[in-house]
Amino acid sequence: MPFDARVFQVLIASPGDVHQEREILAEVVYEWNHVNSRDRGVVLLPLRWETHATPEMGSRAQAVINRQVVDQCDMVVGVFWTRLGTPTGKAESGTAEEIARVGGAGKPVMLYFSRSKVDPESIDIEEYGRLREFRGNTYPRGLVESYSSTSEFRDKFARQLAIKMLEVVAEDAVDNERRSATKKLVSLALAEEEAAVLPNPATVTLARVECSNLTEIPDYIEDEDKADPDNAGLRIGISKRVNPNYYREIVDYFRRSPAYGPLRLAVTGLADQGVRDLYVEARISGLVGELGVFPDFNLSAPKRYQESYGMITGNISISQPFLRPSSKFNVSRSRPDEWRMELELPVVQAQRTVVTEHAFWINAESDCDVLFDATIYSSDSTPFPAQVKLAVRVERRDMTWQEIVKRFEEWSAGGIGG
């Protein structure tokens, strides 16, 4: 079925000694289209001078290519091995002129340099020196990589193209919003337990417990008078050893467990009609402080007996009619300081807030300002941006191991842990 999409033109620039890599570039671009184009409303079109330029009389050849091809592209991918190319009179080579022209316009530049083995007799030393000098050039939005084989090149480019397109599409959505007076169809916010929607920006407090007498924690010894009656039968015919580290594990559990959540995304329809086929793609980063983001936050609750294990999770209520299951939800770490969240929703009704069923948790060692930088795709609109800001404030509390154990046992009596 046909679908509407924005076209991003990707210029493939290289000298003549990397023919196989040029074909791989086009193949990876088409593979990205196959996987992403329909859902994201974006199509990548590879541009090559040999297929997209036509000859003209009376003009410098490279000037014609620049006007017909280079200036039309949205980003450039350059590949090099041992050659830089033939000088054009205005630059070291046609490829170098194309890359400099695109980079100078502030568009993304991705450069790859081959480390594959080569016959020394086939190398033009002077040209190879020019290539090494060219590699030292920098561009405001440039990426420079090297590779040792065509398979490594394919893997690197496929991965980095996916990352780069996240940035390019998000930036294009911002630019498109500035160019267009079209009203946003939905807004984003965060919601807490019981689907209570937080303001945007919001501030939450995370309690972190520190043990003031950590080195004084004794071994746990079973008190026969206070033994758990549920385990009485286990001492008759079934061997179960008392866990001597029970107290230490309780303290460690409290020290490692602080995380704020469960949190969910709240999506509010702003249009007069419902919005269909929503796809939210967000980059989550800590603007200040270290941050952890988890799709679940499960820790093994300490047990008196080493054979007995349990899991503790935050309870997630999904009975409310406005909690909507999504067909896809994923949280993954994309960089050491950044997480990626993906979410799909089939529909958001007009003027209504939908809180997603899926939850996640935020963890921080110290005060942290969190930014959710999202791009929203829909069947009813071109991609548009949305941001959610969250300030996490960490409160530290010193407790003795006795106080921590007492609190845990009170929780256990209420059915949490045991």
Residue 185, amino acid: L
Average pLDDT for 8-31: 93
**Dihedral sign for Cα atoms in the order 239, 244, 246, 252:** negative
Give the CATH fold of the 6-179 domain.
Rossmann fold (3.40.50)
**Cα(366)–Cα(258) distance, integer angstroms:** 11
- How buried is residue 395: exposed, middle or buried, by Cβ count under 10 Å (0-12/13-18/19+)? exposed
> Residue 9: is its pLDDT beyond 90?
yes
Which band of pLDDT confidence, cut at 50, 70 and 90, is reported for residue 98?
very high
Which band of pLDDT confidence, cut at 50, 70 and 90, is reported for residue 25?
very high
Q: Are strands 75-80 and 6-13 parallel, antiparallel or unpaired?
A: parallel
- What does the pLDDT read at residue 262? 78
> Residue 29: is its pLDDT beyond 50?
yes
- What does the pLDDT read at residue 54? 78
Across 206-210, 236-240, 312-316, the highest mean pLDDT is recorded for 206-210
Average pLDDT for 265-283: 86
> Residue 309: is its pLDDT beyond 60?
no
- What does the pLDDT read at residue 319? 29
pTM attached to this predicted model: 0.46
Average pLDDT for 49-62: 77
> Residue 152: is its pLDDT beyond 90?
yes
| Domain spans in the chain, listed from the N-terminal domain onward | 6-179, 186-413
147-161, 195-209, 322-336: range with lowest mean pLDDT: 322-336
3-state secondary structure of 239: coil
Contact 158, 152 (CB under 8 A): no
**Dihedral sign for Cα atoms in the order 392, 396, 402, 406:** negative
**Cα(237)–Cα(311) distance, integer angstroms:** 26
> Residue 180: is its pLDDT beyond 60?
no
**Cα(174)–Cα(384) distance, integer angstroms:** 7
Residue 389, amino acid: K
Contact 260, 339 (CB under 8 A): no
> Residue 409: is its pLDDT beyond 60?
yes
Higher pLDDT, 270 or 195: 270
> Residue 254: is its pLDDT beyond 70?
yes
> Residue 318: is its pLDDT beyond 70?
no
- What does the pLDDT read at residue 378? 84
Average pLDDT for 188-194: 83
Structure tokens at 119: 């016959």
User: CB under 8 Å to 358, separation ≥6 — which residues?
Assistant: 264, 295, 326, 329, 343
pLDDT tens, 108-142? 999 999 999 888 777 888 888 888 888 877 666 67
Instruction: Kindly state the greatest CA–CA separation across the chain.
Output: 103
**Cα(288)–Cα(370) distance, integer angstroms:** 8
